[in-house]
Amino acid sequence: MKNILELSKAELEKEMTGMSAKKFNASQIMEWIYIKHAGSFDVMSNLPLSLRELLNKYFVMEKPRVEQKLVSASKDTIKYLLKCSDGILVESVLMKHIDRHTICLSSQAGCAYGCAMCATGSMGFKRNLSAAEITGQVFAALPDMDSGEYSGKFNVVFMGMGEPLANYDNFKKAAGVLTEKKAFGISARRITVSTCGVVPGIENMIRDGLRFNLSVSLHAVNDRVRDMLVPVNKKYRLEKLFTACAKYFAFNPDPVTFEYVMIKSVNDREDDLKELIYIISDLKIDCKVNLIPYNRVNIKEFSASSQKTIDLWRETLEKEGVICSVRREMGADINAACGQLAGGMV
196 is catalytic: no
DSSP state of 34: I
Rounded distance between C-alpha atoms, residue 248 and residue 214, angstroms: 8
Chain centroid to CA 108: 10
DSSP letters spanning 112-155: SS--TT-HHHHH-EEEEPPHHHHHHHHHHHGGGSPTTS-SS-SE
User: Please, what is the Cα angle at 239 between 235 and 240, to 5 degrees?
Assistant: 55
Which SS3 state, helix, strand or coil, does residue 193 take?
strand
338 is catalytic: yes
Point out the catalytic residue in the list 15, 62, 91, 259: 91
Q: Residue 345 is which amino acid? A: M
Rounded distance between C-alpha atoms, residue 323 and residue 58, angstroms: 52
Q: How many residues does the chain have?
A: 346
> Phi and psi dihedrals of 259, rounded to 5?
-85, 140
Rounded distance between C-alpha atoms, residue 162 and residue 125, angstroms: 8
Chain centroid to CA 213: 11
Cβ atoms within 10 Å, residue 144? 14
Rounded distance between C-alpha atoms, residue 294 and residue 219, angstroms: 11
| Cβ proximity of 208 and 172 under 8 Å | yes
| Cβ proximity of 111 and 66 under 8 Å | no
Rounded distance between C-alpha atoms, residue 216 and residue 195, angstroms: 5
Catalytic residues: 91, 338
